[in-house]
């Protein structure tokens, strides 16, 4: 018989679960703002840019995080500037800038054999490759990013909802957006090793779009997205132990399952619509006959 | 702190690509307390002009000045309430009516993410004025076009601005919604608020405004509606022969 608690006797697994839950939560949170900003592709792009920077700095003998931060911040800034100052839309700028940085990293790797860190774990994610240093950095980034979204929530919402009115209202929209890009890049860097560069976008966007299907209320969307992110990452990590699979792809499968369930819920909600008759609230199959009249 | 008494645009030009002006050589003066309708066809640069006044766009040439009672230019922009074209809004954004109204105060209130009690009360009062008392918790998409327009008007009013700028506030609205908006604006103006709006609705809005500016890339004419909204000016503004008929109807 399978012992469901057996993974918890291993230190590496407990560390992996902590990391997965933290990243699931913070990716779920940041994802809501990413989706509402209309930048679903940015997670994918920035993770590639960070990857390019990370391997270049590793080859150069520097700390892995130094290059990742420098290159992804540079990419964030360039994308921000291109889309602000030119006719090019952000998604097009993301497509070129981040892929160019990624390609540069790969080019350097292909020209040298000095790269020592596990290349595959960065691309596809492997919690086993998480070091103590990675764990502390992830805890710190989760706390700081959470604080940023707590304090800047109002300014972010107004900026993303109606940028020009926010600007007239006195919000420094340029800096709010730039700061958001940097926080996003930081979360992406923290998630790279365990979730993987190629899979990260799904963990950022998936919980957010699933949560959006569940509610029209911003607070509920945030709470649901964080919850979906945590649950998907927890189970992804947990089952990767039994399936002997990479943590990244397993987590993405659970995120996709979460999205599927949300679509199902949203569809059923449309059919089974709750409504009131005086004090009585009930749900039943709701067929619109003429305006708001309906058949019971 | 002194407030503005005159808004001045001096030879203002602006565009989005080189040598292609959207607004060209505009000079105009709007005294405090005036209700101005800027009339012009789509693509005339009305929205751009409003954004220059609001400070979103920096003019390429010329400048915008806010002058105080003693004729001295202010070193700051007075508080402006801005109502955008509602067509530009993402109606799927997960915000309630209450949250949209609260945004109007989000630049200087606390960093805490929730809406405090005082602001909640303020929002309630404004919703009452706008005739939307029971709509606070509804998602913005659930409202009609006229109601949505009033919500954005409420957001602009939450800080009691000195100048209210509205971009095509009545486009796509039915007669009653249009009348309601116009009535609210008239009341605000009677209480001293400066109102600048853009419209291509000559018959229902511009003709009833106290002051009209005909605009198409540059100033065509300005003055009282009865003096400005004439066939020749409208032809010059709209540049289409069809407007001969329209303006003739207007003059009748």
Q: What is the ipTM of this complex?
A: 0.85
- pLDDT score at A261: 96
Put simply, the answer to whether A154 touches B109 (Cβ < 8 Å) is yes
What average pLDDT does the segment B57-78 reach? 89
Question: How many domains in chain B?
Answer: 2
Please count the CA atoms within 13 angstroms of the CA of B51 that sit on its side-chain side: 21
Please check whether residue B84 lies inside any domain of the structure: no
A170 confidence band (pLDDT: 50, 70, 90): confident
| B83 neighbors B152 (Cβ within 8 angstroms) | yes
Confidence class of residue B243 from pLDDT cuts 50, 70 and 90?
very low
- How far apart CA B35 and CA B98 sit, in angstroms, is 28
What pLDDT score was predicted for residue A107?
Answer: 83
Please indicate if any CB of chain B lies within 8 Å of the CB of A218. Answer: yes
Q: Cβ of A161 under 8 Å from any chain B Cβ?
A: yes
Same-domain status, B156 and B175: no
A57-61, A187-191, B116-120: least confident range? A57-61
Would you list which residues of chain B are within 8 Å, Cβ to Cβ, of chain A? 51, 54-56, 80, 82, 84, 88-90, 93-96, 99-100, 102-104, 106-109, 111, 113, 139, 141, 155-156
Judged against a pLDDT cut of 80, whether residue A88 lies above it is answered with no
Residues B123 and B133 both lie in one domain: yes
Distances (CA, A) of A187 to A21, A48, A159, B94: 13, 13, 21, 23
Q: Which residue has the higher pLDDT, A42 or B40?
A: B40
Residue of A nearest to B104 (CA): A169
Query: Is the dihedral angle over the CA atoms A255, A261, A263, A265 positive or is it negative?
Result: negative
Q: Which of B161, B187, B205 is the last residue of a domain?
A: B161
Q: Which of B136, B161, B186 is the last residue of a domain?
A: B161
User: Which of B109, B126, B161 marks a domain boundary?
Assistant: B161
Mean pLDDT of B145-167: 91
Contact: A161, B90; criterion CB under 8 Å: yes
Question: Which residues, 6+ apart, have CB-to-CB distance to B60 below 8 Å?
Answer: B13, B14, B15, B21
Q: Does B247 reside within a domain? A: yes
Statement to judge: residues B71 and B173 lie in one domain: yes
Distance CA A147, CA A141 (A): 10
pLDDT grade, residue B46 (50/70/90)?
very high
Distance in angstroms (rounded) separating the CA atoms of residues A129 and A121: 7
Q: Is residue B86 part of a domain?
A: no
For residue B40, is it within any domain? yes
Helix extents (H) in A3-89 = 11-36, 42-59, 64-85
In a domain, B125, yes or no: yes
B28 domain residue, yes or no = yes
Q: Do B170 and B69 share a domain, yes or no?
A: yes
Q: Which residues of A touch B141 (CB under 8 A)?
A: 216
Q: Which residues in chain A have their CB less than 8 angstroms from residue B100's CB? A: 161
Q: Are residues B173 and B224 in the same domain?
A: yes
CB B55 within 8 A of CB B11: no
The secondary structure element, H or E, covering residue A186 is helix A173-195
Instruction: Decide if B250 contacts B232 (C-beta within 8 A).
Output: no
CB contact under 8 A, A162 and B103: yes
- One domain, residues B205 and B221: yes
Q: Which domain holds residue B132?
A: 91-161
Q: What is the mean pLDDT of chain A?
A: 84
As a whole-number percent, the residues of chain B with pLDDT over 70 amount to 93
Q: Do A161 and B95 touch (CB under 8 A)?
A: yes
CA distance B55 to chain A (A): 7
% of chain B at pLDDT higher than 90: 46
B68, B116, B138, B150, B155 from B101: Cα distances, Å:
30, 13, 12, 10, 4
Of B82, B102, B106, the CB nearest to A155: B106
Do B149 and B170 lie in one domain? The reply is no
Chains A, B: CB contacts within 8 A come to 76
Place of tokens 């565009």: B15
> Do the domain assignments include residue B221?
yes
Average pLDDT over every residue of A96-104: 82
Alpha-carbon span B115 to B103, nearest angstrom: 10
Spell out which residues of chain B touch residue A292, defining contact as CB-CB under 8 Å.
Answer: none
| Domains defined for chain A, CATH in brackets | 19-294 (1.10.3470.10)
Q: Is A10 exposed, middle or buried (0-12, 13-18, 19+ CB in 10 A)?
A: exposed
Tell me which long-range contacts A4-10 makes (C-beta under 8 A, separation of at least 24).
Answer: A7/A238, A7/A241, A7/A242
What percent of chain A stands above pLDDT 70? 87
Query: In 3D, which of A264, A262, A249, A137 has the Cα closest to residue A202?
Result: A249
- pLDDT for B18: 77
Judged by CB atoms within 8 Å, which residues 247-286 of A form the interface with B? none
Same domain, B113 and B66: no
Closest Cα in chain B to A159: B103
Residues in A touching B151 (Cβ below 8 Å) = none
pTM confidence score: 0.84
Q: Is the pLDDT of residue B88 over 50?
A: yes
Residue B37 β-bridge partners: B197, B212
Here the tokens at position B67 are 């002058």
**Residue B207 included in any domain:** yes
Mean pLDDT of A27-43: 88
pLDDT of residue A18 exceeding 80: yes
User: Given phi > 0 = left and psi -120 to 50 = alpha, else beta, which region is B15?
Assistant: beta
Closest of B189, B178, B115, B190 to residue B150, by C-alpha = B178
Listed in sequence order, the DSSP H helices in A112-131 are 119-124
- Chain B residues touching residue A151 (CB < 8 angstroms): 111, 113
Both B167 and B73 in one domain: the answer is yes
Measure CA A146 to chain center: 13
In chain A, which residues have their Cβ closer than 8 Å to the Cβ of B106?
Answer: 154-155, 157-158, 166, 169, 171
- Quick one: pLDDT at residue A133? 85
Please report the beta strands in chain A, taking only residues with DSSP state E, as ranges in sequence order.
272-277, 280-285, 288-290, 293-294
Structure tokens at A11: 């230190």
Q: Are residues B109 and B64 in the same domain?
A: no
pLDDT at B252 over 50: no
Summarised one tens digit per residue, pLDDT across range B139-149 is 999 998 889 99
Query: Does the distance separating the beta carbons of B56 and A168 come in below 8 Å?
Result: yes
Query: For residues A153 and B99, what is the distance between their CA atoms, to the nearest angstrom?
Result: 12
Residue B241's pLDDT is what?
A: 53
Q: Are strands B80-83 and A293-294 parallel, antiparallel or unpaired?
A: unpaired
Distance CA B133, CA B153 (A): 15
Give B27's Cβ-side CA count (13 Å radius).
3
- Regarding whether B121 and B37 lie in a shared domain, the answer is no
Q: What is the dihedral of CA B140, B146, B147, B149, to 10 degrees?
A: 70
Claim to verify: residue B175 and residue B225 sit in the same structural domain: yes
pLDDT at A212 over 60: yes
């Amino acid at each position: 018989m399978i012992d469901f608690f057996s993974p918890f006797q291993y230190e590496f697994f407990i560390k992996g679960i902590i990391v997965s839950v933290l990243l699931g939560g913070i990716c779920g949170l940041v994802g809501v703002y990413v989706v509402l900003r209309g930048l679903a592709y940015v997670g994918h792009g920035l993770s590639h840019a960070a990857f390019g920077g990370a391997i270049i700095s590793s080859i150069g003998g520097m700390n892995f995080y130094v290059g990742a931060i420098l290159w992804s911040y540079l990419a964030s800034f360039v994308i921000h500037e291109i889309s602000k100052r030119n006719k090019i839309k952000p998604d097009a700028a993301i497509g070129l800038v981040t892929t160019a940085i990624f390609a540069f990293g790969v080019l350097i790797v292909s020209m040298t054999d000095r790269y020592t860190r596990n290349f595959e774990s960065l691309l596809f994610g492997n919690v086993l490759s998480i070091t103590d240093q990675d764990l502390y950095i992830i805890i710190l980034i989760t706390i700081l990013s959470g604080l940023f979204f707590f304090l800047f929530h109002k300014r972010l919402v107004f900026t993303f909802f109606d940028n020009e009115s926010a600007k007239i209202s006195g919000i420094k929209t340029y800096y709010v957006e730039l700061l958001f890009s940097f926080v996003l890049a930081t979360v992406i860097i923290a998630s790279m090793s365990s979730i993987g560069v190629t899979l990260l976008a799904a963990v950022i966007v998936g919980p957010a779009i699933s949560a959006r299907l569940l509610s029209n209320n911003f607070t509920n969307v945030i709470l649901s997205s964080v919850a979906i992110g945590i649950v998907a990452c927890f189970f992804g990590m947990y089952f990767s132990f039994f399936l002997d699979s990479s943590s990244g792809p397993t987590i993405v499968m659970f995120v996709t399952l979460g999205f599927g369930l949300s679509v199902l819920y949203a569809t059923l909600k449309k059919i089974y619509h709750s409504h009131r008759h005086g004090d009585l609230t009930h749900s039943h199959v709701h067929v619109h006959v003429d305006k708001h009249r309906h058949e019971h | 702190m002194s407030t503005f008494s005159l808004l001045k645009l001096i030879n203002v030009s602006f565009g989005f690509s080189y040598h292609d002006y959207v607004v060209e050589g505009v000079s105009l003066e709007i005294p405090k307390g005036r209700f101005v309708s800027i009339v012009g066809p789509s693509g005339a640069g009305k929205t751009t002009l409003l954004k220059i006044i609001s400070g979103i766009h920096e003019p390429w040439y010329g400048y915008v000045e806010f002058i105080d009672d003693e004729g001295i230019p202010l070193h700051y922009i007075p508080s402006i309430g801005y109502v955008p074209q509602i067509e530009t809004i993402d109606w799927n954004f997960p915000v309630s009516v209450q949250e949209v109204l609260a945004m109007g105060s989000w630049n200087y209130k606390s960093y805490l993410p929730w809406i405090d009690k005082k602001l909640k009360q303020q929002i309630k009062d404004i919703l009452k004025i706008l005739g939307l008392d029971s709509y606070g918790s509804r998602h913005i998409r659930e409202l009609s076009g006229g109601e949505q327009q009033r919500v954005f008007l409420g957001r602009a009013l939450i800080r009691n601005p000195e100048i209210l700028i509205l971009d095509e506030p009545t486009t796509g609205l039915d007669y009653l919604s249009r009348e309601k908006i116009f009535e609210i604006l008239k009341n605000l103006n009677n209480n001293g608020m400066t109102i600048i709006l853009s419209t291509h609705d000559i018959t229902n809005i511009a003709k009833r405004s106290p002051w009209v500016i005909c605009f198409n890339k540059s100033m065509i004419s300005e003055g009282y509606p009865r003096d400005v909204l004439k066939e020749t000016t409208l032809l010059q503004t709209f540049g289409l022969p069809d407007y001969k008929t329209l303006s003739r109807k207007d003059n009748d």
